[in-house]
Amino acid sequence: MNIIFFGPPGTGKGTIAQYIERKFGYRHISSGDLLRDEVKKKTRIGREIAPFIKEGKLVEDAIIDKIVSKKLKELSKKGFILDGYPRNINQAKLFEKFLAQSRIKVDFVLNIDSKESKIVERLSARRQCVKCKRIFGLDVPPAKDGVCDDCNAELIQREDDKPEVVKYRLELYRVLTKPVLDYFEGRGLLITVDGNEPLQKIFPKVEQIIMGHQK
Ligand code: AP5
Ligand code: MG
């Protein structure tokens, strides 16, 4: 099963993808996590993109396309949940070309929709493990403050979760990313879930959708 998780910043893409990965084994590929790893490792690309990530701007299409397609080639045999890509119409076209060349089929696109007021509140409380990338939040706090339940590593706040950067990311989403929804809808791939609901309600709904698509 190959799935794309779509939706504005802070809508729950990463949280739900991590849950589904644990449950079904499909590999979670987060374009943001891949880019933040480059920044952390201070690679050539990492140094180039660091200011973009910090300010919430989209990195160049050619860079993200190369990084995501490399990861997809490594992991696509196990099935994947792609989160954060494609994020504009040009990326959607590049992605479609890659899928055709690699003979990979996307089963569906899950659009997770949330209100902006919820998003700002959630993102100011989000913490993420530096090591395993597990996401914590208001509704899913760690057992011990600042420490990951799974691997005991440190939990950090993302630099781009400051309210003014979140506002800018939401604006970019509206202008550049949302049009990709119509693109997927035109291909009959779109399913929408309500991301305003509690995670305990969303998780079983997404499981049902996946089970309904399994052959
Ligand atoms: P990226 O990492 O992809 O960030 P994003 O899309 O803005 O999404 P987030 O990770 O902020 O939100 P999420 O939906 O995963 O929410 P989460 O599950 O964590 O991208 C970061 C940057 O990288 C970009 O700004 C750009 O610079 C660059 N980039 C990445 N991809 C790119 C691309 N394709 N092209 C160009 N540049 C790219 O949840 C958030 C919080 O809310 C958590 O604390 C969680 O616990 C809580 N929560 C979630 N759902 C619920 C719920 N239903 N109820 C209660 N709490 C909830
Ligand atoms: Mg995320």
CA of 14 to the centre of ligand 1 (A): 6
| pLDDT for the residue 78 | 85
Catalytic residue among 118, 158, 162, 167: 158
CA of 32 to the centre of ligand 2 (A): 7
> What is the number of the ligand 1 atom nearest to the C-alpha of 36?
23
> Is residue 86 reached through a cis peptide bond, with omega within 30 degrees of 0 on the bond before it?
yes
Q: What are phi and psi of 105, to 5 degrees?
A: -115, 135
Residue nearest to atom 57 of ligand 1 (CA): 12
H helix intervals, 28-155: 31-40, 44-55, 61-75, 89-102, 116-125
CA of 35 to the centre of ligand 2 (A): 11
Q: What are phi and psi of 50, to 5 degrees?
A: -50, -50
Residue type, 203: F
Ligand 1, CB within 6 Å, residue ranges: 7, 9-15, 30-32, 35, 52-53, 56-59, 64, 84-85, 87, 91, 122-123, 125-126, 135, 137-140, 160, 169, 195, 197-199, 202
| pLDDT for the residue 161 | 96
For residue 58, the SS3 value is coil
> What is the number of the ligand 1 atom nearest to the C-alpha of 195?
53
| pLDDT for the residue 198 | 96
| pLDDT for the residue 214 | 85
| pLDDT for the residue 111 | 98
Contact 29, 67 (CB under 8 A): no
Q: How is residue 71 written in tokens?
A: 């990861």
Active site residue 158: yes
DSSP states along 139-194 = SS--SBTTB-TTT--BEE--GGGSHHHHHHHHHHIIIIITHHHHHHHHTT-EEEEE
| pLDDT for the residue 115 | 95
For residues 196 and 110, what is the distance between their CA atoms, to the nearest angstrom? 15
Q: What is the pLDDT along the chain (215 residues), one digit of tens a residue?
A: 999 999 999 999 999 999 999 999 999 999 999 999 999 999 999 999 999 999 999 999 999 999 999 999 988 788 999 999 999 999 999 999 999 999 999 999 999 999 999 999 999 999 999 999 999 999 999 999 999 999 999 999 999 999 999 999 999 999 999 999 999 999 999 999 999 999 999 999 999 999 999 86
If residue 136 lies in a helix (H) or strand (E), which one and from where to where? strand 135-136
Sign of CA dihedral 74, 70, 22, 154: positive
| pLDDT for the residue 77 | 83
